[in-house]
């Protein structure tokens, strides 16, 4: 079974600074997706960024970028130029893309990291 670990229950950053959230995962599969979801107080789950395991290039979305280390099974999220609106719970998630397996398509979440942004 796949597991996702976020070792930082809470992080804080000053507005306009950069912060990195950590995520590691455990899997024996070679084909999968990794995601970072943001959950603000409104509780809506919002996709921040996605990474396909077969792609070596790190995904970027505006101020959000990832450092994907497949061999180390690490998937960290970097938020640059942090804004007050970035304050939220962030979840790292793993989704199996290994066709035919019993876990095919399942999405497994880490425990989450609460990010506070100070003005």
Partner 1 sequence: DARVTQTPRDKVTEMGQEVTMRCQPILGHNTVFWYRQTMMQGLELLAYFRNRAPLDDSGMPKDRFSAEMPDATLATLKIQPSEPRDSAVYFCASGDLGVTGELFFGEGSRLTVL
CA distance 22 to 67: 9
Q: Please pick, from the candidates 43, 56, 85, 100, the single residue that binds partner 1 as defined by CB under 8 A.
A: 43
The continuous run of DSSP H or E covering 32 comes out as strand 32-39
Which CB sits closer to partner 1, 7 or 111?
A: 111
Residue 99 DSSP one-character state: T
Report the SS3 class of residue 26.
strand
Q: Please pick, from the candidates 2, 22, 52, 65, the single residue that binds partner 1 as defined by CB under 8 A.
A: 52
CA distance 11 to 58: 22
The answer to whether 70 contacts partner 1 (rule: CB under 8 A) is no
Q: How far is the CB of 15 from partner 1 (least distance, A)?
A: 27
- Considering only residues 90 to 109 of the shown chain, the ones binding partner 1 according to CB under 8 A are 91, 95, 97, 102, 104-109
CA distance 13 to 83: 9
Q: How far is the CB of 47 from partner 1 (least distance, A)?
A: 6
Report how far Cα 13 is from the mean position of its chain's Cα atoms: 17
- Catalog residues that contact partner 1 under the rule CB under 8 A: 33, 35, 37, 42-45, 47, 50, 52, 91, 95, 97, 102, 104-112
């Amino acid at each position: 079974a796949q597991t996702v670990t976020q070792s930082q229950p809470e992080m804080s950053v000053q507005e306009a600074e950069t912060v990195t959230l950590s995520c590691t995962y455990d899997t024996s599969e070679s084909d999968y997706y990794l995601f970072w979801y943001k959950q603000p107080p409104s509780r809506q789950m919002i996709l921040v960024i996605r990474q396909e395991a077969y792609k070596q290039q790190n995904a970027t979305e505006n101020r959000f970028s990832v450092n994907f280390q497949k061999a180390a099974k690490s998937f960290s999220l970097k938020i640059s130029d942090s804004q007050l609106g970035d304050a939220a719970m962030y979840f790292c998630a793993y989704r199996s893309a290994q066709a035919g397996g019993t876990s095919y398509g399942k999405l497994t979440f880490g425990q989450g990291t609460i990010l506070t942004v100070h003005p």
